[in-house]
Structure 1
């Protein structure tokens, strides 16, 4: 994914924690009887939390993905692990993708902040996941029709860069949730962006930990009876 370094991004005001609502508080009328999965990530937040802009055109609901694609956002490796920071990053990513890339919305379905907060990316992503479906994204060229993308806040280009334990733990929870919802085997389903496109994403530090991510996801699913 592209870096924001050197790009001036617009802001829509400060994050209003008092008006934030958790993901799934209100579901689309298209799916009135929706119920959240029992094994959702602990720190899960919908688009209202980060004051998302509406997409420039309607998103498309498509069938379940067969691959979970891990990205790094090429954002600063801040030590601010707060929800406010995760919300800010989600807004900045959306601004970049809509205003610079010309996309209808955030390209990825999910974003995991350095503090472990799991943020809804593209519009209606949580709804689709809960029903075993997917929102057509824009995160991996030529493969958006069968993949779901997780953007990881930070820059993990150098192999020795430390990935915060809270962030990696949330990646495990998130991949477990997705594998549960889609009936996927984590050993086969979890991949890096570079496995599909000519890119260094998700960076050497994160890419070299994908085997661990697959293993820990499988263990998490087993521990929770999945």
Structure 2
């Protein structure tokens, strides 16, 4: 597991409006619950917390919803240009993303985690590091899932940095419930008619899926979508390594 992560402790102003992966669910309306899964501490990667990247905490709406499990991971991209500087630009990009999501009524930044092209992992939605916070990232399938957004545009023909893929795999290995294989499939039930599947429909998806698997979108871009089999294999390898090391 890689140990290096950027350490960012300054506050930067927001960029202009960002174009993001389409149509996360507005918000979840379910009772708040305590997280139940116990995950090996050795799997937790280095994460830049919200305070370190300068999150706009005062405009976050109260009433976060918590799940008791993480059954699947949905991978997104944000549609930003890929030429950003990981140290100088990422904090203001994240802040602009958060503020846009709040304006759209999603209470907070919709994704639980965001990863940059250098492999940095950032806490997105408030509390996502310590608890299973329900995000607003995948319409109809936010329940018991984690949303990870790759900062950039990874459509067909674009290169997805290896460090970014490793970061996504690290989050998946860490956050998925211990009994759920990153290589497997899981049954989820749609909670929203706006997804690919009518409300109440049971769907079998890969444990590590792309947004497009359950919503009418090209997100997370063809290049990143094509890399998801590698992400699944790497997440499984990290778990096997953690198990061997006790």
Structure-1 separation of matches of 2:163 and 2:96: 21
Q: Helix, strand or coil: the match of 1:38?
A: helix
Aligned position for 2:90? 86
Normalised TM-score (structure 1): 0.76
Q: Which runs of 5+ in 1 are unaligned?
A: 1-11, 16-29, 129-133
Within 5 Å, which residues of 2 pair with 1:94-113? 94-99=98-103, 101-113=104-116
Contact 1:86 1:115 in 2 (8 A): no
Q: Which moved more, 1:215-224 or 1:68-77?
A: 215-224
Aligned position for 1:38? 42
Structure-2 separation of matches of 1:85 and 1:183: 38
Within 5 Å, which residues of 2 pair with 1:32-181? 37-41=41-45, 43-54=46-57, 55-82=60-87, 84-99=88-103, 101-128=104-131, 134-158=132-156, 160-179=157-176, 181=177
Contact 1:77 1:154 in 2 (8 A): yes
Q: Helix, strand or coil: the match of 1:185?
A: coil
CA deviations over 1:127-171 (Å, ceiling 9, x no partner):
10xxxxx1111101111112110011010112x211112111211
Structure-2 separation of matches of 1:125 and 1:155: 24
Q: Which moved more, 1:200-209 or 1:216-225?
A: 216-225
Contact 1:64 1:182 in 2 (8 A): no
Contact 2:70 2:175 in 1 (8 A): no
How far 1:196 moved relative to its partner? 0.7
Q: Helix, strand or coil: the match of 1:63?
A: coil
| Number of residues of Structure 1 aligned to a counterpart in Structure 2 | 189
Contact 2:44 2:171 in 1 (8 A): yes
CA deviations over 1:180-224 (Å, ceiling 9, x no partner):
x54321012111101110110000000011111111111122122
How far 1:35 moved relative to its partner? 10
- Which has the larger share of helix? 1
Structure-2 separation of matches of 1:46 and 1:73: 19
How far 1:36 moved relative to its partner? 8.4
Q: Is 1:14–2:12 an aligned residue pair?
A: yes
